[in-house]
A and B are shown apart, each in its own frame.
Chain A
Amino acid sequence: MEVFLWFVPWEESITFIAVISVVAILYINGCAECHPPFRQKLYFWVGLVSLYIVSQTQFEYYSEHEFFMHRLQHVVLHHFAPFFIALSRPGAILFAGMPLEGKRWIRTILQSRLAQQLLAIVCQPVIAVILFDGLIFFWLLPSIHFIAMIDWRLYRVMNWSAIITGLMFWSLVLPPSPQKSAYRSAGCRIAMMLAVIPPQIVVGALIFFAPQELYPIYTLCGRAFTHLDPLTDQQIGGLIMWIPASMMSVIGIMLVISNELRQPKRVMSK
């Protein structure tokens, strides 16, 4: 019973639950048709379930009321879960799981000029890197962070934007690279993952070494762990930005390299 209570959402969001369930149903449907390998399915479910756990359980209470838990939530929303979802390349399977009407819609939208242009812009490596890192930093500006944590609408926007930019970035850089317009060479993808590391380290370090409380909102609205003092909380938050967030890039780079090594023919011909 106690365990069950942990899975009751602290702040239920119908939109979030609906989106996650629709994606899950589409994936199950698609799997029945495509029969992807087990590993691919595992990656997808790890990503999707971790998105759900950090957003729609009691975990959210802690991430609203403790800075380092908030950072942890964002590492999952922005790095960990999108990383795994992108790694499983669920696009084709989700598409296969759609009803006919939905497929037609998606095709029309994707083939429209606006969508094509938008995709071309966000898939541009420099823009993708700026979007991915810029978004974290934007929400961490102390005045913006204050409002985002107090206004539930902005809070939702913040979390959604983290998920969306995370998915865009990781699906662009992780192997195998999409073959069509979004194709980027392995070098380019490694460079992108390297490029997002230093800014995160700098901001993480700035937060870690800040002599005063940067985000008083947590003190104002009350901390989940009363015995942890505000500066320690902030420092742990900074470290979480500094280390695990950068680590995901390193894992991504290793995946790209190993993927390249597994295709000796193409490398040789170049």
Chain B
Amino acid sequence: MELWIQTSAVVFQNEYAPQFRQAVNAVMRQASSDSKYSNRLPNIWSLVYASASVRFLVFIILAIGLTGCKSEPPPWRLSDISGHLPDLEFSLISDKETQVTAQTLKGKLVLMYFGFTHCAAECPLAMTRLVHILQKLGEDADRVHILFVSLDPGRDTPPVLHRYLASFDSAHATGVTGNEEAIVELVKRYRSAYRPATDAGAANDISHSAVVYIFDTQGQARLLFSPADPDENLMSDLLHLLHESP
């Protein structure tokens, strides 16, 4: 950064300063010259042209200013994605066979996970971890909700989802399913991988994301929790999110 500033200062001195000096001189000459020239307007364009270099300088100063006054780093230990992913928005069928939208979950922290009930390894593991962390949160857990989005709508009917979630923690989790288009739309919205199994027999091979998307109480995407992050990081960030002023 410093090197860059130095170089740009040198560039400024060598390239732009003479132009500027010339332009100012020209204007001064015209202003102070005798009547033969005084009825002519000062050459404003040369000044404006020179001001391009002034703009350049202002830009550099601004750039230094912006990088210089960095505010305190946010407290997040997980990957902070605030402002980079769109707000939560969907309309799907829950495991209790009711329509669920993002509005239904307003006021709660949402932990969204894409998975399917026939998933052998990652999904049960991720769900177990999330439920475990929720238990540790105690009373605060009531303001956190797990949203399990099924990527296998063909087999994950609401009753199947309900039974699946009951084995974890049905009070703090909702499973949602729906038609394939709605699910693909949600997947695309969060840039998650999803390839439906080509034939029913190989359904264990649905590729999907490993990450848990964390939305704040207003439905804004805030953090990503990856399987590699330790539980404590998720705990501390959830507490921060729960107790930040909206």
Which residues of A come within 8 Å of B, CB atoms?
10-11, 61, 64-65, 117, 146-147, 149-152, 154, 216, 219-224, 226
By a CB distance below 8 angstroms, the chain B residues around A152 are 191
Q: Using an 8 Å CB-CB cutoff, how does the interface string of B155-195 with A read, 1 for contact, 0 for none?
A: 00000000000000000000000000000000010111111
Q: Is the interface of B mostly helix, strand, loop or mixed?
A: loop
A223 and B193 contacting across the interface, CB-CB below 8 Å = yes
Tell me which residues across on chain A come within 8 A of B224, comparing CB atoms.
220
Contact A150 B209 (CB under 8 A): no
A222 with B208: in contact, given A10-B188, A64-B191, A150-B191 (CB under 8 Å)?
yes
Closest to B195 in A: A224
- Considering only CB atoms, which chain A residue lies closest to B206 in the complex? A226
In the complex, are the beta carbons of A150 and B85 less than 8 A apart? yes
In the assembly, what is the distance between CA of A175 and CA of B210, in Å?
48
Contact of A222 among B83, B205, B209 (CB under 8 A): B209
| CB-contact partner of B193 in A147, A154, A216, A222, under 8 A | A222
Return 9 A-B CB contacts under 8 Å, by A number: A10-B188, A146-B79, A150-B84, A219-B226, A221-B190, A221-B209, A222-B194, A222-B208, A223-B193
CB of B211 within 8 Å of the partner chain:
yes
In the complex, per-residue mask of B46-63: 1 if CB is within 8 Å of any chain A CB, else 0:
000000100000000000
Distance between Cα atoms of A154 and B210 in the complex (Å): 22
Q: Which residues of A contact B205 (CB under 8 A)?
A: 226
Query: With contacts A117-B52, A151-B83, A151-B85 known, what are 7 further pairs, Cβ within 8 A?
Result: A147-B81, A149-B191, A150-B81, A221-B193, A222-B192, A223-B193, A224-B195
* B85-A224 in contact (CB<8A): no
The answer to whether B84 touches A147 (Cβ under 8 A) is yes
Q: Which residues of B contact A64 (CB under 8 A)?
A: 191, 193
* Chain A contact surface mostly: helix
B50-103, CB < 8 A from A: 52, 79, 81, 83-85
Complex CA distance for A226 and B207, rounded to whole angstroms: 6
Q: Mark B196-238, 1 if CB is under 8 A from A, else 0.
A: 0000000001011111000000000000101010000000000
Residue among B193, B211, B226 having the largest count of chain A Cβ atoms under 10 Å: B193
Q: How far is the CA of A150 from the CA of B221 in the complex (A)?
A: 11
Q: Distance in Å from the Cβ of B25 to the closest Cβ of chain A?
A: 21
Given the complex, which residues of B lie within 8 Å of A150, measured CB to CB? 81, 84-85, 191
A33 to B195, CA, bound (A): 47
Q: Which of A117, A147, A216, A223 sits near B226, CB closer than 8 Å?
A: A216
Contact B188 A221 (CB under 8 A): no
User: Which B107-145 residues sit within 8 Å CB-CB of chain A?
Assistant: 114
Most buried by B among A11, A64, A220, A224: A220
Residue of B nearest to A64 (CB): B191
- Chain B proximity of A124: nearest CB distance (Å): 12
Task: Determine whether the beta carbon of A220 is less than 8 Å from that of B85.
Answer: no
Instruction: Return chain B residues, CB-CB under 8 Å to A216.
Output: 226, 228
Q: Closest approach, in angstroms, between the C-beta of B199 and any C-beta of chain A?
A: 13
List of A residues within 8 angstroms of B79 by Cβ: 146, 220
Q: Please give, as numbers and ranges, the residues of chain A lying within 8 Å of B228 by CB-CB distance.
A: 216
Q: Which residues of B contact A151 (CB under 8 A)?
A: 83-85
B52 CB contacts on chain A under 8 angstroms:
117
User: Could you say which residues of chain B place their CB within 8 Å of the CB of A154?
Assistant: 84
Q: Which residues of A contact B208 (CB under 8 A)?
A: 222
Known A-B contacts A64-B191, A150-B81; A220 and B226 likewise in contact (beta carbons under 8 Å): yes
Q: How many whole Å from B51's CB to the nearest CB in chain A? A: 13
Q: Out of B188, B194, B207, B210, name the residue touching A220 (CB < 8 Å).
A: B210
A221 to B191, Cβ gap below 8 A?
A: yes
| CB-nearest residue of chain A to B83 | A151
Q: How far is the CB of A9 from chain B (nearest CB, A)?
A: 11
Chain A residues with CB below 8 A from B84, complex form: 147, 150-151, 154
CB distance from B220 to the nearest CB of A (A): 14
Q: Give the chain B neighbours of A146 by CB distance below 8 A.
A: 79
Neighbouring B residues of A224 by C-beta, 8 Å = 193, 195, 207
Distance from A229 Cβ to chain B, minimum over Cβ atoms (Å): 14
Complex Cα gap A152–B210 (Å): 19
